[in-house]
Chains A and B, each alone.
Chain A
Amino acid sequence: EPEVTQTPSHQVTQMGQEVILRCVPISNHLYFYWYRQILGQKVEFLVSFYNNEISEKSEIFDDQFSVERPDGSNFTLKIRSTKLEDSAMYFCASSRDRGAYNEQFFGPGTRLTVL
Chain B
Amino acid sequence: AQSVAQPEDQVNVAEGNPLTVKCTYSVSGNPYLFWYVQYPNRGLQFLLKYITGDNLVKGSYGFEAEFNKSQTSFHLKKPSALVSDSALYFCAVRDINLGTNFGNEKLTFGTGTRLTIIP
Contacts and interface: CB of A to CB of B under 8 A. Distances in A.
Contact of B102 (A35, A100, A105): A100
B57 interface: no
A82 interface: no
Contacts of A100: 32, 94-96, 99, 102-105
Contacts of B32: 100-101
A52 interface: no
A45 B42 CA distance: 18
Given A101-B51, A108-B41, A45 B108 contact: yes
Interface of A: 3-4, 6, 9, 31, 33, 35, 41-45, 48, 55-56, 58, 91, 93, 98-101, 103-109
B90 interface: yes
Nearest to B94: A100
21 contacts: A3-B43, A31-B105, A33-B106, A45-B107, A45-B108, A48-B105, A48-B106, A55-B105, A91-B43, A99-B102, A99-B103, A100-B32, A100-B94, A100-B99, A100-B103, A100-B104, A100-B105, A101-B96, A106-B36, A106-B43, A107-B43
Given A43-B90, A58-B106, A106 B44 contact: yes
Contacts of A6: 43
Place the interface of chain B in its size category.
20 to 34
A3 B102 CA distance: 24
B99 A43 contact: no
A45 B51 CA distance: 20
- Which of B51, B94, B105 gathers most chain A CB within 10 Å? B105
A104 B43 contact: no
B111 interface: yes
A43 B110 CA distance: 7
